[in-house]
Amino acid sequence: MKKKDIIIIALALLAALALYLVSQVSLGAQSSVVVVTVDGEEVLRRPLAMEDRYEIAQDDGSLNIIRVQGGAVWMEEANCRDGLCIRQGRMKNGAKTIVCLPHKVVVQLEGEAPVGDNSDLDVIIQ
């Protein structure tokens, strides 16, 4: 009997954890915005949910190609000398930043709370 109880509790915990993770992932995908700055100036702001490929070309010939796909953003191509931005890999949340130092390009993820979502949240909490 005791073993069964433990299994049931473990399953319930797993289900709760799975639900939590799913809700976190879907919330993140909905609310995140890809923000690209060049030398501190914002040049691009697009929802992470919108899959696309952005070319950041500068007057001096610097080129960075940013890819947004599957809820992640990454530097697909760059003609910088170190290539570090490409090696930084995929970014899925605001905890990370992709930086191309030679080109002064910074790719960030910002949270955006859509208007009207707050009322839905209140219902869930109560």
Residue 91 interacting with Zn ion (CB under 5 A): no
Segment (H or E) for 8: helix 2-31
Output 91 or 100, the one with its CB closest to Zn ion. 100
Return all residues near 54 (Cβ < 8 A) that are at least 6 apart: 36, 44, 46, 65, 66, 67, 68
Looking at 85, 106, 107, 109, which residue binds Zn ion (CB under 5 A)?
Answer: 85
49 near Zn ion (CB under 5 A): no
Q: What are the two backbone dihedrals, phi and then psi, of residue 13, each rounded to the nearest 5 degrees?
A: -65, -40
Q: Is 38 in the site for Zn ion (CB under 5 A)?
A: no
Among 33, 80, 92, 104, binds Zn ion (CB under 5 A): 80
Residues within the interface to Zn ion (CB under 5 A)? 78, 80, 85, 100
